[in-house]
Structure 1
Amino acid sequence: MDDGMRQETTLRVKNKFSKQYRNGYPLITKEAIINGKDLKEEGVLVKLVDESNQFLGKGYYGNQNKGYGWIVTNNENEEFDTRFFVRKLQQALGKREFLLKDNSTTAYRLFNGEGDGIGGFTIEYFDGYLVINWYSEGIYTFKEEVLAAIGEVLDVKGIYEKKRFNTDGGTYVEDDDFVSGEKAPEPHLIKENDVNFAVYLNDGAMVGIFLDQREVRKTIRDKYAKGKTVLNTFSYTGAFSVYAALGGAAKTTSVDLANRSLPKTTEQFNVNGIDEKTQSILVEEVFHFFKYAKRKGLKYDMVIMDPPSFARSKKVTFRAAKDYTSLVSDAIAITEHDGIIVASTNCSTFGMDKFKGFIDQAFKDNKKKYKILEEFSLPSDFATIKQFKEGNYLKVVFVQMLG
C-alpha cells in the first residue's frame, strides 16, 4: 500500500489517557479511544488527538493483543514511507554495533518493535539471514516499505517472515515463510557466545532458540554449571542444558512435554560435540516429573524453570500470574541444600517485584531461607523504552536455597 494512498483516521483519546500519550506511551489501547468504531481497515494511518483536538501522535491501525495499533511518531507530517523505515533501521543498527562486531555471537534481534520506535514487528538476524515477525495485519500492509528499507540498509543472504497474527480466528502460519534471496541451509548453524545452535528458519513460528536468554545461558555456563547436576524443565530444544554441559555440569536432565523436544535437544548437543547418551532427555509433563522426582527423593544442584506464560496439558493448566509460586515450591522440594533455582518468566502482565514476591511466598510456604544471587531482564538488543514497561517482559532470578 503506497503511503500517499493510505487513508487517515482521527482517533479521539479520553482525557484521562491523554497524558500518557503526551509522555510517549506507544500502544493505542482500546479503552483509551472514544471512537474506536471508526476504524475499518487495518493499515490505515491514525492521528491521535485529545478531547480538545490537541495532537498527541501519529501511527497506524493494527489489531494486536490489547491494542488498536501503535503510535510511531510525534511529528504530524511524518510520512511512513521507505525513508522513514530506513531511518529507524539505521538507528537500530547503531544500537547493536557491538553485536555486529562480535564473532562469537551470530544471532540476535536487530529490530525490537516499539523499543526501536515502531511497534508491531521485530527482525531477528541469524548469521546472514533475517526473520521478520509481523504481529498484526496492519503492520503487514507496510511489508514492501520494510523490505525496501532492509535492502538499503543491510546486506543479507535471505529473508524469512512469520505472520504472528490471527486470520479467520486461527493463528495463521504459512507453509513457506521464505520471502526473498537464497534459502538458508537446514539446519542453519548459528553461534551464541561460541556455542552452536541448529536453527530452522522455515519451520513454523519457532526456529529453535529464544534469543532473549543469551546472557542467562552464558551466566549458567560460566559461573554455575561446573560439577553440578542440572535439571532443565520446559526445556524446548535444550539450550540451557547445552550451556550447562559445556560449562562442565556433571549431568543435565531436560524435561519437556513436546515430542519433538527429544530429537531437537539431541541435535543441539550433537552440534556442540556432546554425546546425548551422557545426558538425560525426557519427554514428559513437567508437573508430573516434579511429583515423580519428589517421590523418588531425587535432588538437583540446579533447577532451571522457564515455563510459557500459559500452558495446558491433559491434566494441568499453568498460568504464570497465578501458578508460579506453586512451581517454585515444586522446585524447592527437589533442590539440594545450597542449590540454585533459576526462575524465569516472559509473562508481561506483572513486573520484577511481583515476580520476586511469588518466589518469596514459595520459600515462606516451605519454611526455607534463600538469597537472590543475580537477576536479568532483556539483553540490550531487545531494546525497550521506559514509557512502555510491558515491553521489558523477561524476568530471570538466580535464587540460592540456604541450608
Structure 2
Amino acid sequence: MSSLNQALRVALDNRQSLLAELHAQGTDCYRLFHGSQEGASGLTIDRYGPQLLIQSFHNSLDRESLLALHAQVNKHLGLETLLVYNDRSQGNSRIDRSDAVYKADDAALEDMVGHEWGLNYRVRGRHAGQDPLLFLDLRNARGWVKDHSAGKSVLNLFAYTCGVGLSAAAGGASEVCNLDFAEGNLAVGRENGALNPQLPTMAFIQSDYFPAIRQLAGLPIAARRGHKLPSHVRLEQRQYDLVLLDPPAWAKSAFGTVDLLRDYQSLLKPAVLTTADDGVLICCNNLAKVSMEDWRDQVLRCAMKIGRPVRDCQVLTPGADFPSLDQQPPLKTLILQF
C-alpha cells in the first residue's frame, strides 16, 4: 500500500464515529481526507451525496493513485460513488486531460442532490466557479443557525449559495434574506430553496456588499477614491435578529475592498450596526495566517468602539472532518451576542 493510501486509511478510520453521527443526522456531505493535516498537503477528498470530489491544489495525481483512492473510498463507504477529479494545481479545475480516466463520466457531472442536517442541496462537480457549491467547513455554523433561528429575522451576507439562509428557514426563522453580488450564486440558492419545498420562501438581494450593508446600517455610501459612485440597489435602514458575515479573503469593487488581513473592520462595523439589540452576529475569517486570538481581539475592540459591546463571545470550530493539529483551523467563526 502506498503512503498516500495508508494516510487515507488512517483518515477514514479516524472518521468512523463521525460518519455514523453525520449519517444519523441526515448528512452525506463531508470531508473524507484533509490533506494539509493528514499527510498529503494540497489534496482534498470530499463526499457530496452520490459524488466523490477529489481535488489537488499543489501536485497532479497520477492515474493509478487517483483510481486507487476512489476504490479505497468506495470500499470503506460501501458505495459506488461517482468520481470527479479537479486538478487545480495549474490554476484551472475544468480542463480534463487526454487520458480517459481523468474525464469524469457524464453521470458524475449531472446535477445531483447532497444532504446536510436533513436538508437538500444542489451539488455539481463542475460549474462556472472554481469552488464546490457547498463549503463543508461551515457545516457546524449552518447547524447552529438551524438550532437558533426560530422566530428570528435572519440576514445572510456574502450568502454564496445560501446554505445559511436555508438552515435558518429550516429552523423556523420569521424572515430570511440572502445577499450576494453574484447572480449565479443566488440562482443556486433558489435551486436549494426549490429542493426543499416544505420550507418558507427566502428573499434574495443581488448587490455589492458595501452599498447594501451601509444602507441597512444607516451609513453613507462612498465610492473608492477616483471612482464615480455606480448605480446600486436601494435599501431602507433596518436591523436583523441574526446576521451571518462570511466574506471572501479578498475582493475589490468600485465600492470598496474586502481585505480580511488588513481591514476586517470595514466589513464588521456596518454588520454590527445592522444587528439588533439582543441579536446575534456570526462572523467568519478564513485566512490561515490570521490567528484566532488576534482576530477575536480586533472584533471585540471594533464592536466596543462603535458603542455596541459584545455581551458574550463563543468560538465555533469546524467539524472533526477538518482536523487541525495546532488547533488553529483556517476557518475561524465567532458567535457574538449583543
TM over 0.5: yes
Matches within 5 A, 1:369-388: 369-386=309-326
Name the counterpart of 1:150. Answer: 70
Distance 1:160 1:358, change over 3 A: same
Distance 1:84 1:289, change over 3 A: same
Counterpart selection for 1:298 from 217, 222, 238:
238
When normalised by structure 1's length, the TM-score is 0.72
Counterpart selection for 1:172 from 65, 70, 92:
92
* C-alpha RMSD of the superposition: 2.1
Counterpart selection for 2:9 from 81, 90, 107:
90
Instruction: Mark the runs of 5 or more structure 2 residues left unpaired by the alignment.
Output: 219-235
Contact 1:116 1:384 in 2 (8 A): no
Counterpart selection for 2:208 from 266, 282, 285:
285
Counterpart selection for 1:237 from 150, 158, 161:
161
**Partner SS for 1:140:** coil
Matches within 5 A, 1:314-325: 314-325=254-265
Name the counterpart of 2:30. Answer: 108
Name the counterpart of 2:183. Answer: 259
Counterpart selection for 1:140 from 54, 57, 60:
60
Name the counterpart of 2:308. Answer: 368
User: Is 300-309 or 84-93 further displaced after alignment?
Assistant: 84-93
Distance 1:163 1:369, change over 3 A: same
Name the counterpart of 1:327. Answer: 267
Counterpart selection for 2:284 from 334, 344, 351:
344
Offset of residue 291 of structure 1: 1.6
Offset of residue 87 of structure 1: 1.3
Contact 1:197 1:271 in 2 (8 A): yes
Aligned length: 309
In 1, Cα distance between equivalents of 2:277 and 2:103: 52
Offset of residue 262 of structure 1: 2.5
Name the counterpart of 2:253. Answer: 313
Contact 2:193 2:202 in 1 (8 A): no
In 1, Cα distance between equivalents of 2:144 and 2:52: 27
Distance 1:162 1:185, change over 3 A: closer
The answer to whether residue 337 in structure 2 is matched with residue 400 in structure 1 is yes
The answer to whether residue 193 in structure 2 is matched with residue 269 in structure 1 is yes
Instruction: Mark the runs of 5 or more structure 1 residues left unpaired by the alignment.
Output: 1-81
Q: 2:202 corresponds to which letter in structure 1?
A: Q
In 2, Cα distance between equivalents of 1:176 and 1:298: 48
Q: Percent identity?
A: 26
Offset of residue 315 of structure 1: 2.6
The answer to whether residue 131 in structure 2 is matched with residue 212 in structure 1 is no
**Partner SS for 1:269:** helix
| Structure with more relative contact order (C-alpha pairs < 8 Å, separation 6 or more) | 2
Matches within 5 A, 1:35-74: none
In 2, Cα distance between equivalents of 1:217 and 1:366: 28
Distance 1:152 1:230, change over 3 A: closer
Offset of residue 279 of structure 1: 2.3
Counterpart selection for 1:190 from 114, 117, 125:
114
In 1, Cα distance between equivalents of 2:279 and 2:36: 38
Contact 1:86 1:153 in 2 (8 A): no
Name the counterpart of 2:233. Answer: none
Contact 2:70 2:83 in 1 (8 A): no
Whose radius of gyration is greater, 1 or 2?
1
Name the counterpart of 2:173. Answer: 249
Question: Which structure: greater strand fraction?
Answer: 1
In 1, Cα distance between equivalents of 2:142 and 2:134: 12
In 2, Cα distance between equivalents of 1:188 and 1:372: 40
Distance 1:90 1:366, change over 3 A: same
Offset of residue 174 of structure 1: 2.0
